[in-house]
Amino acid sequence: MSDWYAENMIVGCGNPLQTDDGFGPAVIAELKKISLPDNVKVMDAGLAGPHYLFTLMAQSDMPVKKLVIIDIMDFGGQPGEITKATPDLLSPGAYTDPHSWGLKEPLQVLSERTEIVILGCQPKSIDISQIGNESDDADFWVTESVRKAIPKAVQLALAEVGVDYGTTITSQRDLHGESAGL
């Protein structure tokens, strides 16, 4: 189990069949195309992240220093807008899985030994995709506005783990009320 983890983890959460909920896995697919340092690992956790991966990570003998979670988050922004949050900032019910289970508590437990940053993208739609599985022109079925946010999320995630990807990121909303770096 310990080889699943690295000092810095970037984990995408979501269900690609539910349109914009596939944002996290789509960002991870792009990150897997990049050569990363040995201390950085990317993982598509699908729907298992909150209740399995994060729980196992909290109990692992090999602590993760920093965890960057890529997911959708309804924060009242424009579709495709990205915000940065930490578990201490989340109000009860602000960040839930598709079954409406709150993720604040498992992330609070994990944050006692791991620095956690959540990069949340405002979704446009999380309806079951109307695009057929046989479609060759869509790797992920996110809406156009959320698709445009994928490169920015890649840059933000890399910056969080100290990987300079050679680009400048323009300002975005930050739940901490800061705009530097986003």
3-state secondary structure of 13: strand
pLDDT score of 3: 66
How many other C-beta atoms can be found within 10 angstroms of the C-beta atom of residue 111? 15
Question: What is the C-alpha to C-alpha distance for residues 7 and 17, in angstroms, rounded to an integer?
Answer: 30
Question: What is the C-alpha to C-alpha distance for residues 44 and 22, in angstroms, rounded to an integer?
Answer: 10
pLDDT along the chain (182 residues), means of 10: 77 88 94 93 83 69 88 91 88 59 72 91 82 62 92 96 70 54 47
* Cα torsion angle, 138, 45, 126, 80, sign: negative
pTM: 0.81
pLDDT score of 165: 73
Task: State the helix-helix crossing angle for 23-31 and 150-160, rounded to 10 degrees.
Answer: 70
pLDDT score of 92: 63
pLDDT score of 179: 46
Distances (CA, A) of 100 to 30, 53, 118: 28, 18, 18
Which of 160, 161, 107, 147 is closest to 16 using CA atoms?
147
Q: What's phi and psi for 55, nearest 5 deg?
A: -65, -45
